[in-house]
Amino acid sequence: GNLFEQVQLAPPDPILGTALAYKADTSKDKMNLGVGAYRDDNEKPYPFKVVRKVESQIVNDHSIDKEYLPIDGLAQFNAAAQQLIFGKDSSAVKEGRVITSQAISGTGALRIGFEFLAKFYNREVLVSNPTWGNHHDIIKCSGLNFKQYRYYNPKNMSLDFNGMFTDISMAKPGSIVLLHACAHNPTGLDLTEDQWKRLAGLFKQNRLFPFFDSAYQGFATGDLNRDAYSIRLFTELGFQLIVTQSFAKNMGLYSDRIGAFHLVCANKETAAKCLSQLKLVIRPMYSNPPAHGARIATKILTDPALYNEWMEELSMVSKRIIDMRTALKNELVRLEVPGNWNHIVTQIGMFSYTGLTPEQCDILINKYHIYLLKNGRISMCGITTKNVGYLAAAIKDAVV
Ligand code: PLP
């Protein structure tokens, strides 16, 4: 008999599904505004030049073998990743209270993070409404329950800080709160430094546990240090916390699956015990991580000349995104599209939360071959100097 006859066809992933639909579309006007991967002004993927250079060094270095990495990955990578996110002078790092494990990019870091919490800190999780859709599924996999806190005010397309503060203040003391370190996905709305400080006060008062997801360091402001502000603030204030870090976007290493998991503990002794337990989480999951991405990132992070090349490319890339924000807003204003489009330029990071309704999104997709998420999120990376006019005209048609 058919052993799997009862298996139902699953719906496609909403984000990766748009990429497939785009690929299958034969229109010459098609635009891919779904997936969050950088494109150049010719709509082509952009492998960082510094990555290409380092890769050829690695390939030609015959002293590098293919042995397994340790369960927690490449030690030099972990040290460099720690420094990038916590800063050179982090007292928590100096005190040996931070444990770090290489991870299968940001998603893998989130996965081991929530597995670890489910075992050793089983509390309710709060996530922003909205958030990156995969957060919900990852938390469910761990068996933890989650609730949402307000984040976005659709009326004025801005951050609902008061709603956020109120909802988080009502969480049970000790709850886990998932925060986007910068460049919130999908809204592109971040807290100000002052708001982060007020939030930290609330976390102290209610003994909340901060869990920072950092997938866009360098993509928010173009400055790696500024984009780590929230994490460094909470760490300096003495919080025990988690950071999940991805190099997919800021080094363009999407398919190399390179990231890190960090846990800041109360002291060195607890940190050592937690690392030993984290390894027990990882070992039956995937045994140990792949080496290639870790080797690339380590070379770039530890060689000052390569680091500078990376900085230059990263600022070029983040500048193109900011330029496309201005270009889109200007076109919408020039075409006199009804509505206020200021949020396109004030939002931060790879995405813009346009405020378009699902019906308006359908018009863009079906009539104009412009692929975006039904929640109105567009990836700014798919916009170029050549197609921005077409996009603005299509938005005008969808809106009026
Ligand atoms: N977290 C957020 C908010 C993201 O947007 C992403 C990627 O889109 C990730 C984590 C993880 O990405 P990756 O697993 O490719 O590092």
Candidate of 85, 131, 132 to mutate for ligand 1, largest count of ligand atoms within 8 Å of Cβ = 132
Closest Cα to atom 6 of ligand 1? 215
Residue 320 has, within 13 A of its CA and on its CB side, a CA count of 20
The pTM assigned to this predicted structure is 0.96
**Ligand 1 atom with the shortest distance to the CA of 107:** 14
Confidence of residue 62 (pLDDT cuts 50, 70, 90): very high
Q: Hey, what amino acid is at 270?
A: T
Q: Give dist(CA 211, CA 5) in Å, integer.
A: 41
Confidence of residue 232 (pLDDT cuts 50, 70, 90): very high
**Ligand 1 atom with the shortest distance to the CA of 106:** 16
Confidence of residue 308 (pLDDT cuts 50, 70, 90): very high
Closest Cα to atom 8 of ligand 1? 36
Candidate of 131, 182, 246, 352 to mutate for ligand 1, largest count of ligand atoms within 8 Å of Cβ = 246
Could you give the percent of the chain with pLDDT greater than 70? Answer: 100
Q: Could you confirm whether 28 is annotated as catalytic?
A: no
Q: Could you confirm whether 61 is annotated as catalytic?
A: no
Residues flanking ligand 1, CB < 6 Å: 36, 105-107, 132, 180, 185, 213, 215, 246, 248, 254, 259
Active-site pick, 30, 249, 299, 329: 249
Closest Cα to atom 13 of ligand 1? 106
Distance in Å, CA 60 to ligand 1 centroid: 31
The predicted-structure confidence for 254-303, as pLDDT tens digits, reads as follows 999 999 999 999 999 999 999 999 999 999 999 999 999 999 999 999 99
Distance in Å, CA 87 to ligand 1 centroid: 22
Q: Give the number of other CB atoms < 10 A from CB of residue 89.
A: 10
- Nearest alpha carbon to residue 356 among 370, 346, 348: 370
Q: Give dist(CA 353, CA 344) in Å, integer.
A: 8
Closest Cα to atom 11 of ligand 1? 106
Distance in Å, CA 110 to ligand 1 centroid: 9
Closest Cα to atom 12 of ligand 1? 106
Q: Hey, what amino acid is at 374?
A: K
**Ligand 1 atom with the shortest distance to the CA of 109:** 14
Mapping DSSP onto H, E and C, the string for 361-382 reads HHHHHHHHCEECCCCCEEEHHH
SS3 226: helix
- Nearest alpha carbon to residue 69 among 78, 81, 60, 61: 78
The ipTM (two decimal places) reads 0.99
Q: Could you confirm whether 249 is annotated as catalytic?
A: yes
**Ligand 1 atom with the shortest distance to the CA of 108:** 14
Closest Cα to atom 2 of ligand 1? 215
User: Nearest-5° angle of CA 211, CA 200, CA 181?
Assistant: 40
The predicted-structure confidence for 119-171, as pLDDT tens digits, reads as follows 999 999 999 999 999 999 999 999 999 999 999 999 988 999 999 999 999 99
- Nearest alpha carbon to residue 46 among 397, 317, 306: 317
Average pLDDT over residues 364-393: 95
| 338 DSSP assignment | S
